[in-house]
Amino acid sequence: MLETVFRAEDLPVADRFEAWREYLLKTHVPVELSSEHESDFRVTDRVLSLGSVAVRSMDAPAVTVTRTPKLVRQSDPEAYQVSLLCQGSIDVIQQRGRTDFRETHHPYDLVLLDSSQPNESRVRTDEGKTSLTGFSVLVPKALLSVPADSVDRLLARRMPGGEGVIALLYQFIARLTTGTAAYGPADGPRLGTVVVDLLSAALAQVLDAETADSLTPEARRRTLTLRIEAFIQQNLRDPRLAPEVVAAAHHISVSYLHRLFQERGISVAASIRSRRLERCRADLADPAMATVSVHAIAARWGFTDAAHFSRAFRREYAMAPLEYRRKEHPVIA
């Protein structure tokens, strides 16, 4: 996975805004930029290249981003730009045909723009704040599983987040952009596929299009699996978490749940156990958890039987939990 980072504060003050403009030309669709803070522009802009998909996180002052008709004619990657603000707001104007669509978007809303049509985004900071934070995704149109005419109806339209698949998309991108060290070069395209599937599902949910078969069967199955995995991750601490509970929460049979996981080469129970063991391993290696007993760490992640936990940990990591802790922190142990 390729990651590039731009930090304005690494440059002389007079060069910052122009340098960021040039950086955007390389990592984004061509746009015009303006800001009241050009004379002392402070921005941190990180971009992850996930195959054909680009994900960026940004901390910046208020700025206006304009894609003019001339820029559209000069260069069009035929992509959708998705924005998810954490802090701040966006006033968006998206041209479609001869009509301009205008909408104000707030934190956790999903904002969708089309690179093939002129648009303008006036990104504003919250009152009393000097910067805004958020994520954006650049996705080739051809990759989405939702029909283009349906997606067009959502351009510049406010799609509230905070729950449903939009929230899941936000959580995935937030985690992805803050934990890049865990991924290798080969993971980029796979993670890009996950982003596309979640975005397709989010748009389909807004359109209430799942029942209209707006998603392909394969994309529907992958999206369901992603929801299930997110559910498992969020409920690892619950000792009652089991295949029956997971299936009931998603209104599917246990046998269908098992079939979904067979395609991934792991059983549901094994996936739950592996995730719990990994959380326990991380806690045992954490100096801040050094005073917490091994039994308490196991219970924290859903293991109610200390002997069972010890056996499972030894099978997974070829050593007992306490032995692992001593290996990681011999002085503390």
Residue 127 lies in a domain: yes
203 and 297 inside one domain: no
Q: Specify the CATH number for the domain of residue 245.
A: 1.10.10.60
User: Is residue 220 included in any domain, yes or no?
Assistant: no
Is 225 inside any structural domain?
Answer: no
What are the Cα distances from residue 330, in Å, to 167, 293, 326?
Answer: 41, 16, 5
**pLDDT-above-90 percentage for the chain:** 56
Residue 168 has pLDDT above 70, yes or no: yes
Q: Are residues 66 and 29 part of one domain?
A: yes
Asked which of 59-68, 219-228, 291-300 is least confident by mean pLDDT, the reply is 219-228
> How many CA atoms lie less than 13 Å away from 291 in the CB half-sphere?
1
Question: Is 246 within the bounds of a domain?
Answer: yes
Residues 290 and 333 in one domain: yes
Which whole-number Å values give the CA distances from 199 to 105, 140, 168, in the listed order? 18, 12, 9
Residues 197 and 244 in one domain: no
- The confidence score (pLDDT) of residue 220 equals 73
- The reply to whether 12 falls in a domain is yes
pLDDT in tens, 110-156: 999 999 999 999 999 988 788 889 999 999 999 988 888 888 889 99
**pLDDT of 197 strictly over 50:** yes
Task: Tell me the two tokens of residue 215.
Answer: 């998603």
User: What's the structural domain count of the chain?
Assistant: 2
| pLDDT score of 210 more than 50 | no
User: Do residue 107 and residue 72 come from a single domain?
Assistant: yes
The CATH number covering residue 199 comes to 2.60.120.10
- Structural domain of residue 87, as residue ranges? 2-209
Ranked by mean pLDDT, the top range of 83-87, 209-213, 283-287 is 83-87
Domain boundary among 152, 175, 209: 209
Report DSSP state, residue 130. S
Rounded Cα distance between 32 and 69, Å, is 11
**Per the domain annotation, does 230 fall within a domain?**
no
Query: Domain for residue 26, yes or no?
Result: yes
